[in-house]
């Protein structure tokens, strides 16, 4: 299996990319597979190159709630860069694909040997913090339909296609609302010609219209990502 490049890895100087790939292996991301559970030690980190993973927080007595996604723009296991071995969230593969996988030990060694990787992950952790803060405000203040539009845009960005499988039940689980709320919101988007939905297959028909229907959080996330993760890191002096 040959995997294309992850965007974080692509920001590294060539020498650092090659060293990271040397200790990584291409790995399939299987739909509905749980890669991490809260509180458990992180044994592997993943740099997705296709597909995407939902980050789900669990609260006792309640179903899980998605608070973020990781696709080819990021990585899973970034908390290791802070010296934290346990993961705080459930990581659920939402869109099948591929990733570069390496052990936690290999990742720590690669991090110690690469100033560029340290800088990239510092930027990424900042972006994740900003996006988690945005997600918290979005859950509290925004209505279901704009949140659903945002979620669909985020999924489309990471799926790399206009069509993907998703059920109303799963959407309700991810957005933390009742299924009837998803049915009403999705019906409104469909009547507006923005999406088509049939037998679990959702297709984005009007990307610009969906962006207009989404809450401002989507554009804010895009801006913070572009500001911090669009510029390659220069090689360390003497490297």
CA atoms within 13 A on the CB side of 71: 17
Domain range list for the chain: 7-139, 143-214
Give residue 1's pLDDT.
40
Give residue 238's pLDDT.
64
How do the pLDDT tens digits run along the chain, 239 residues long? 444 689 999 999 999 999 999 999 999 999 999 999 999 999 999 999 999 999 999 887 777 889 999 999 999 999 999 999 999 899 999 999 999 999 999 999 999 999 999 999 999 999 999 999 999 899 889 999 999 999 999 999 998 889 988 888 889 988 989 999 999 999 999 999 999 998 889 999 999 999 999 999 999 999 999 999 999 998 877 65
Give residue 9's pLDDT.
97
Question: Exposed (0-12), middle (13-18) or buried (19+): which is 192, by Cβ within 10 Å?
Answer: middle
Task: Give the domain 7-139 fold.
Answer: Jelly Rolls (2.60.120)
Adjacent-strand bridge partners of 68: 55
d(CA 46, CA 231): 21
pTM here?
0.93
Just give the CATH number of 143-214: 1.10.10.10
Structure tokens belonging to residue 92: 């659920």
Q: What are phi and psi of 53, to 5 degrees?
A: -125, 135
Please report where in the chains the tokens 């970034």 appear, as a residue.
78
What is the enclosing helix (H) or strand (E) of 165?
strand 163-165
The sign of the dihedral angle between the CA atoms of 97, 98, 99, 103 is positive
Number of CB atoms found within 10 A of residue 126's CB: 14
Q: What is the pLDDT of residues 83-119, one digit of tens each?
A: 999 998 999 999 999 999 999 999 999 999 999 999 9
């Amino acid at each position: 299996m040959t995997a294309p490049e992850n965007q974080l890895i692509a920001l590294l100087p060539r020498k650092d990319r090659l060293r990271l790939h040397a200790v990584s292996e291409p790995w399939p991301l299987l739909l509905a597979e749980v890669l991490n559970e809260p509180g458990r030690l992180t044994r592997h980190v993943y740099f997705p190159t296709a597909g995407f993973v939902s980050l789900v927080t669990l609260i006792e007595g309640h179903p899980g709630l998605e608070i973020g996604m990781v696709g080819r723009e990021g990585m899973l296991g970034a908390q290791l860069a802070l010296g934290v071995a346990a993961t705080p969230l459930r990581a659920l593969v939402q869109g099948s694909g591929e990733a570069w996988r390496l052990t936690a030990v290999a990742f720590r060694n690669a991090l110690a040997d690469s100033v560029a990787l340290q800088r990239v992950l510092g930027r990424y952790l900042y972006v994740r913090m900003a996006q988690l803060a945005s997600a918290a405000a979005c859950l509290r203040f925004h209505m279901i339909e704009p949140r659903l539009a945002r979620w669909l845009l985020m999924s489309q960005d990471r799926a790399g296609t206009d069509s993907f499988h998703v059920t109303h039940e799963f959407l309700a689980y991810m957005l933390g609302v009742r299924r009837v709320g998803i049915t009403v919101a999705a019906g409104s988007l469909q009547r507006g010609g923005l999406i088509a939905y049939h037998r679990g297959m959702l297709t984005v028909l009007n990307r610009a219209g969906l962006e207009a229907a989404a809450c401002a959080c989507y554009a804010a996330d895009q801006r913070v990502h572009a500001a911090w993760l669009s510029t390659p890191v220069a090689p360390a002096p003497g490297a």
